[in-house]
Structure 1
Amino acid sequence: MDTDHDGVRASLAAWAVGALEPGERRTVPRHLAGCDACAAEAERFTELVRLLDGPAVPPRRDGRGNPDDTAVDAADTAVADDTAAVADRAGDHADGVLAAALGLRPRTPPVAPHAAPYAAAVAGLRALLPELAGRWTVPVVHTWTAHATLAHLLAADEPLAAVLGIAPRVPAPHGNGRKGAGQGGGEGAGAAGWADAWNARTADVIAHELARTPEQTVAAWAAQADALLAAPEARDTGRAAAPATLMGMRLPVAEHYLVRAFEVWIHTDDLGRALGLAVPPPPEEHLWTLVRLAVRILGGALGPASPPVLFTVARSAGGEAGDQWVLGAEDKPVRAELVVDAVDFCLLVGGRYPPDAIPRTAVGDETAARHVLATAASLAWL
């Protein structure tokens, strides 16, 4: 019997929506057939999917998801058939609430790899929104309620939408002289003034949306997200290579889609925490795309004058060592070695960890290591 409980449990959410990787389609059912603890946890995942996704996920015949415990090959075939039937809805491999979300997401035009993390993050938030019914005033982050947090995301997507020619969902307040569609965060704001313009715009959008119903805000946010995913730049890598300056960062449009994915996930996690629900990180492939972009931005923020630090972002699953970079001066000996988990690093960059509280391993010059963490934390906004 396969006794790799941690490995199997990491795959149970994907199993519940029929999105196992090919190599897992044999090992996971075999393990569940002989492990009561994992089988019980698998059944809990299945029930969560049923609650979020209605009858679309077929009920299992028993807690192990194996209709014939005596015929492993037949069971594997059944699981593979189930996977094929559900995979059209399930999409990318993910965990927990996000995995259930993938079955709920509406059909959208196919997107290129650079927009896939944003599409998955939007799907995850869509799945969580029904849990907010009757709880839209729950405090979430900063001084925002759940309603205000979603309004913030409506505002946060505006700068990219404006660059792509998508009309604003919220007009600028009459007579205040500010541009709509979040353009205060765009190229016209200048490197120094974007933050003030952005803060003002997000406050305007939140005030506007709090005067409406949460359902109206959900509709506006969803329509704007759908428009971003339907834009030619979401499907055409050539068009997405064009640079744009948004939120003080000049990046290709493709990478601005990644920034949007990052923020939607962070705020979905905020909402989940407020509701007492665990929201999983992005699928592994998407997570590492976000990590690498964040490290590159961090390296630019540190600059060549910073003491060099060997920075390792460790993988959360699979026992792999992770990726390494030397940040800071390239022509000097490394002063410190710093290791952080991939999800923790993203939460740090997203402003959800103080730099002195993030779990990490450091050797060498502690001041140099702390400088890297403090700079990473400084990249966050709202």
Structure 2
Amino acid sequence: MNGPDEWDGRELPSSPGERPRIPSPRTAAEDHGPLPDAPPAPAPDPDGGFPPEAAAEPPAAPVILPAPAGAPPHRVLKSLLGAWALSACSAQETAAVEAHLTDCASCADEALRLREAVGLLHPADSLDLDPLLRSRVLEGCLGRRPARIPVPEWATPYDAEAAKLDALLRDMGEAEWRAPVRLRWFEGERPVERETTVGGVMGHLMAVDGLVATALGLTDPLGTAAPPGTPDPLVRTETFWRAADEEQSPLATHAPWRDQSSALIRQVSFAGTRVAELAVRYGDFRLPLRDAFLDRAFECWVHAGDIAEAVDYPYEPPAASHLHQLVDLAARLLPSALAGRRRAGLAAPPKRLVEAGAPGRTLHLEVEGNGGGHWYIPLDSPAALGAPEHTVAHIALDSAEFCQLAAGHISPEEAAAGQLGERDAIRDVLFATASLSRL
């Protein structure tokens, strides 16, 4: 036990009664002050030896100078610099180290270097790339040098969503490709579910994208297995799943799907506006090619979200300008969807008969947030005009919630919509929105 003016060589405790956290260094003479000068060597004996009294005399003991009262030695404080830089010292240790740094230039420099190194070990930003980075880079490049063959505006959402999904798939291993994915959509009055895998989802996307590919004269991914007759998306998907080789790795669908999506973008870029109105058959209805590309962008985003949810990975929605185009497509399809539900007896009949092009009752659809806007949905005939002065009901929805409803991921009853006006009209439009979804 040393006196009150001596450092006993033990580490500083974090708090009273707490065991020391840092191993104590061994006491060295240097820790108690400078060493005394060595005594002068005795002169050698003329006969070649030392005097007998010099050989018998023991060496002088070093003089140990006491350290200042209460101050830990330099060596102990230097050993605490790493813990201090990581903010792992106790309050007492921190105070002792910081007091020492004001007097010791070498330790102060070392502490500064350690603090800078700790800053590199804990970056403030996420290591994941910004999902909009690709769009910003392309926008900057095209701003300096426009593309010689630009992608049509109505095809850019599909191009962006396919690139985002491709980036997600590249980060996944084979085990994640076999992860179960729950697909959801809405039929009639009830939600429907189907479980598959990530590989199955990609097969579904490739089979339905094949409808657009064949309309453009490209190769059908189903080949000779393509079902004859009406090109129904559900039938094509089932055919693809049945023909899939169970022994084959699910990753095998990644490259063909990406090659197909790139071929679609390349084909419409070279064709330009000439193919914008080309009809694409979806079972019992048709879409112009420009709308078919928006439909494929919407489904690519929705199913990419299903995959990301299955593998617990964050996924961002489309850019605001792209999201607006997708919401606009859904809003333009609502009159036909409502008419189809009326033919099936699932919606109330129109309250007013109107001629083609004449104004009828209108529902004001307000979509808030990114990609939102205002649409006036004709209620009495898909050929009628939607005019604000004939509004009988108003629905307000967030853009993300509206898209989830159109994807069949939430039911019309669950949609937290602001509602005002005729209840039947509101219910029919919400159910018609959900009916836009499909496998």
Tell me the TM-score range normalised by the shorter chain. Answer: 0.5 to 0.7
**Residue in 2 aligned with 1:34?**
none
Q: Does 1:314 align with 2:363?
A: no
The DSSP-based 3-state class of the residue aligned with 2:412 is: coil
CA deviations over 1:38-69 (Å, ceiling 9, x no partner): xxx99434x1129x9xxxxxxxxxxxxxxxxx
CA deviations over 1:241-282 (Å, ceiling 9, x no partner): 233333433222111111111111110011111122221111
Change (3 A) 1:233 1:91: closer
CA deviations over 1:120-179 (Å, ceiling 9, x no partner): 010110111033312112111221111111111111101110111111233344xxx834
Distance 1:88 1:369 in 2: 37
Q: What amino acid sits opposite 1:203 in the alignment?
A: E
**Residue in 2 aligned with 1:301?**
337
Unaligned runs of 5+ in 2: 1-121, 141-146, 183-193, 340-348, 352-360, 381-385
Q: Does 1:170 align with 2:229?
A: no
Q: What amino acid sits opposite 1:117 in the alignment?
A: P
**Residue in 2 aligned with 1:140?**
181
Q: Does 1:205 align with 2:240?
A: yes
More displaced, 301-310 or 283-292? 301-310
Change (3 A) 1:361 1:210: farther
CA deviations over 1:317-374 (Å, ceiling 9, x no partner): 8xxx832324313589533211111222122111111111122111223332121110
Residues 158 and 293 in structure 2, CA contact (< 8 A), matched pair in contact too: yes
Distance 2:399 2:419 in 1: 15
Residues 111 and 235 in structure 1, CA contact (< 8 A), matched pair in contact too: no
Structure showing greater radius of gyration is 2
RMSD: 3.2
Distance 1:160 1:224 in 2: 10
Q: Write out aligned runs for 1:1-382 (5 A).
A: 43-45=124-126, 47-49=127-129, 90-91=137-138, 110-133=150-173, 134-141=175-182, 142-173=194-225, 178-179=227-228, 189=230, 197-211=232-246, 212-232=248-268, 236-303=272-339, 305=350, 308-316=362-370, 322-329=373-380, 333-382=390-439
State the identity %: 28
Q: What amino acid sits opposite 2:240 in the alignment?
A: V
TM-score, normalization: structure 1?
A: 0.64
Residues 121 and 264 in structure 1, CA contact (< 8 A), matched pair in contact too: yes
The DSSP-based 3-state class of the residue aligned with 2:404 is: helix
Distance 1:42 1:343 in 2: 31
Distance 2:134 2:163 in 1: 15
Distance 2:370 2:275 in 1: 34
Residues 149 and 270 in structure 2, CA contact (< 8 A), matched pair in contact too: no
TM-score, normalization: structure 2?
A: 0.56
Residues 110 and 235 in structure 1, CA contact (< 8 A), matched pair in contact too: no
Per-residue deviation, 1:315: 2.1
- Residues paired across the two proteins, number: 275
Change (3 A) 1:235 1:361: farther
Distance 2:217 2:292 in 1: 15
The DSSP-based 3-state class of the residue aligned with 1:140 is: strand
Per-residue deviation, 1:240: 2.0
Change (3 A) 1:340 1:221: same
Change (3 A) 1:43 1:240: farther
Per-residue deviation, 1:110: 3.6
Change (3 A) 1:346 1:216: same
Distance 1:234 1:156 in 2: 22
Q: What amino acid sits opposite 2:152 in the alignment?
A: A
Change (3 A) 1:253 1:89: same
Q: What amino acid sits opposite 1:136 in the alignment?
A: W
The DSSP-based 3-state class of the residue aligned with 2:221 is: coil
CA deviations over 1:168-209 (Å, ceiling 9, x no partner): 233344xxx834xxxx5xxxx2xxxx5xx4322211212333
Residues 115 and 235 in structure 1, CA contact (< 8 A), matched pair in contact too: no
The DSSP-based 3-state class of the residue aligned with 2:364 is: strand
Residues 136 and 214 in structure 1, CA contact (< 8 A), matched pair in contact too: yes
Residues 323 and 370 in structure 2, CA contact (< 8 A), matched pair in contact too: no
